[in-house]
C-alpha cells in the first residue's frame, strides 16, 4: 500500500449510512450568475455546448484580497445514455440553471454566521460536465453530440477570475461538496500554481472522499463506475501525473485515497462516517442485492442491525450545529486554516453525541449530515 508522505493523517472511520450533504446555514444571500463569454473559443463548454458559469460575491475590507472557490457537486455520468439525459438538466447545461444562487454557510457574508470568511471574495463554480471538472473529450456520432470539457471549464473560470483580483490573492481556499469535494483533489496542485507564490493556499473537501472498497459481493463497484467515467470523458490525461506514473492502473488516481499521496497542499477533509451515497453505491449497490435483503436497512437506517445509522441536521455556525468536544465545523475549519490551534478531535461512537438531532429522513428533511470526527494535525484535518 502506498504511504501518504504529506502532512495529512487519514483516519479511516467506518463508512456507513448517511448522505453526503454539505455544510450550510440559515442566512440567504442570492448572487447572480456570470457566464464565461470567452469560454467557447477554448472549447470550454457544458455537456450540451452551453457556456460555463460561476457566481461571485465580492469581498471587502480585510478580506478583499482573499478568495474562496467552491465547486458545486451533483454526481457523475459515466456512459452516453446517462450523459445525454444529464445534458437536458441543470447538471449538464447552464440553460436550465437558476440564474441566482443562494450563498450560505461558508459562502455567507454574515459575520455572525461565517466569522472567518464572511468578507472574502466568494465564488461558486457551477457544475455542468458530469466528471468533477476533469474531462477533456467529445462524443459525436452524427446524431448526438456531447462535450466532456470539465478540465477546460475549470481553466476558463480561473482565467476569467484572475483579472478580477484572483491574481493578487493573499489567501485562498479551494472547496467543494460531494462530486465538487472530489474535484478539489483533482485540482489542488494546478490551483496553487495559478496563484502568487506567496499566497496561502489550502483546500477543504466536504463529503468528497469516495472510497475504493469492496461491496457486499466482494466486487469493486465504485472502481468499475469510475473506470468507465475516466475512459468516457478522457480524464486520465488530467490526473496527477506523479500518481498515474506510480501505478499500473492510472484510473485509480481519480480516487482521493490514491491521489493524496501526491498532494502537498494543506487539506481539511470533512466526511461523515455515516454516508448514504457510499452505503447505497459502494457498500450495497443494487446489483449484488437482487433479492432486496438490504432494502429495509437502506430505506430505514434505524432498522440496520450491523450498525446503527444516524441522521443529523448539519449547519455551519448555527446554535444547533453538530459539535465535537463543543467545537463546530466552522470553528474547526477556521482554527485549521488560520493556524490558531492545533488539536485532534474524534467523535464518540453513535449515539452518544447529543448535538446530533437523530432525525430519520422524510420527504420534508433534505439537508442531513454528521461529520463524525475531524482531526486537526499541523497542516491538515480529516473527519
- Distance from C-alpha of 76 to C-alpha of 90, rounded to nearest angstrom: 13
pLDDT in tens, 220-253: 888 999 999 999 999 999 999 999 999 999 999 9
**What local confidence, expressed as pLDDT, does residue 316 receive?**
67
**What local confidence, expressed as pLDDT, does residue 361 receive?**
45
- Distance from C-alpha of 247 to C-alpha of 249, rounded to nearest angstrom: 5
For the domain spanning 27-382, the CATH number is 3.40.50
The stretch 129-149 carries a mean pLDDT of 98
Q: Tell me whether the omega of the peptide bond preceding residue 170 falls within 30 degrees of 0, making it cis.
A: no
**What local confidence, expressed as pLDDT, does residue 357 receive?**
55
Most confident of 144-148, 257-261, 332-336: 144-148
Q: Which grid coordinates are listed for 50?
A: 452551453
Residue 195 has pLDDT above 80, yes or no: yes
Residue 379 has pLDDT above 60, yes or no: no
What are the φ/ψ torsions at residue 100 (nearest 5 degrees)?
-120, 135
Cα–Cα nearest to 173, from 113, 107, 227, 258 = 107
**What local confidence, expressed as pLDDT, does residue 14 receive?**
30
Distances (CA, A) of 327 to 275, 343, 376: 21, 11, 12
Backbone Cα Rg of the chain = 20
Task: Please state, for a pLDDT cut of 70, what percent of the chain lies above it.
Answer: 70
Task: Please state, for a pLDDT cut of 90, what percent of the chain lies above it.
Answer: 61
pLDDT in tens, 274-323: 676 666 666 666 666 666 766 767 666 666 665 433 334 446 666 667 77
Residue 214 has pLDDT above 90, yes or no: no
- Distance from C-alpha of 232 to C-alpha of 172, rounded to nearest angstrom: 32
Residue 348 has pLDDT above 80, yes or no: no
Residue 231 or 269, more confident: 231
Provide the residue ranges of all domains of the chain, joining segments of one domain with +: 27-382
Query: Both ends of the chain: CA-CA distance in Å?
Result: 21
Amino acid at each position: 500500500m502506498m504511504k501518504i508522505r504529506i502532512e495529512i493523517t487519514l483516519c479511516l472511520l467506518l463508512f456507513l449510512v448517511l448522505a453526503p450533504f454539505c455544510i450550510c446555514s440559515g442566512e440567504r444571500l442570492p448572487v447572480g450568475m456570470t457566464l464565461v463569454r470567452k469560454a467557447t473559443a477554448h472549447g470550454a463548454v457544458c455537456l450540451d455546448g452551453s457556456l460555463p458559469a460561476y457566481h461571485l460575491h465580492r469581498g471587502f475590507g480585510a478580506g478583499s484580497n482573499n478568495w474562496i472557490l467552491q465547486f458545486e457537486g451533483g454526481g457523475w455520468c459515466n456512459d452516453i445514455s446517462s450523459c445525454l439525459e444529464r445534458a437536458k438538466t441543470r447538471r449538464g447545461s447552464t440553460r436550465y440553471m437558476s440564474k441566482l444562487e443562494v450563498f450560505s454557510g461558508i459562502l455567507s457574508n454574515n459575520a455572525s454566521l461565517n466569522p472567518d470568511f464572511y468578507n472574502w471574495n466568494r465564488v461558486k463554480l457551477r457544475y455542468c460536465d458530469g466528471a468533477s471538472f476533469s474531462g477533456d473529450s467529445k462524443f459525436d456520432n452524427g446524431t448526438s453530440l456531447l462535450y466532456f470539457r470539465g478540465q477546460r471549464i475549470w481553466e476558463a473560470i480561473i482565467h476569467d477570475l484572475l483579472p478580477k483580483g484572483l491574481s493578487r490573492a493573499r489567501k485562498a481556499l479551494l472547496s467543494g461538496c460531494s462530486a465538487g469535494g472530489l474535484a478539489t483533489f483533482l485540482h489542488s496542485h494546478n490551483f496553487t500554481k495559478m496563484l502568487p507564490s506567496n499566497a496561502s493556499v489550502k483546500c477543504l473537501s466536504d463529503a468528497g472522499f469516495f472510497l475504493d472498497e469492496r461491496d457486499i459481493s466482494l466486487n469493486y463497484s465504485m472502481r468499475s463506475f469510475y473506470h468507465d467515467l475516466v475512459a468516457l470523458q478522457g480524464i486520465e490525461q488530467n490526473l496527477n501525473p506523479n500518481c498515474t506514473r506510480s501505478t499500473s492502473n492510472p484510473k485509480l488516481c481519480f480516487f482521493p485515497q490514491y491521489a493524496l499521496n501526491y498532494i502537498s497542499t494543506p487539506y481539511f477533509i470533512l466526511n461523515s462516517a455515516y454516508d448514504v451515497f457510499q452505503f447505497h453505491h459502494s457498500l450495497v449497490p443494487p446489483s449484488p442485492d437482487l433479492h432486496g435483503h438490504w432494502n429495509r436497512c437502506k430505506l430505514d437506517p434505524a432498522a440496520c442491525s450491523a450498525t446503527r445509522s444516524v441522521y443529523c441536521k448539519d449547519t455551519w455556525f448555527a446554535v444547533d450545529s453538530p459539535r465535537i468536544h463543543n467545537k463546530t465545523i466552522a470553528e474547526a475549519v477556521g482554527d485549521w486554516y488560520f493556524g490558531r490551534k492545533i488539536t485532534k478531535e474524534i467523535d464518540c461512537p453513535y449515539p452518544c453525541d447529543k448535538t446530533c438531532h437523530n432525525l430519520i429522513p422524510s420527504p420534508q428533511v433534505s439537508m442531513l449530515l454528521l461529520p463524525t470526527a475531524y482531526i486537526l494535525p499541523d497542516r491538515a484535518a480529516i473527519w
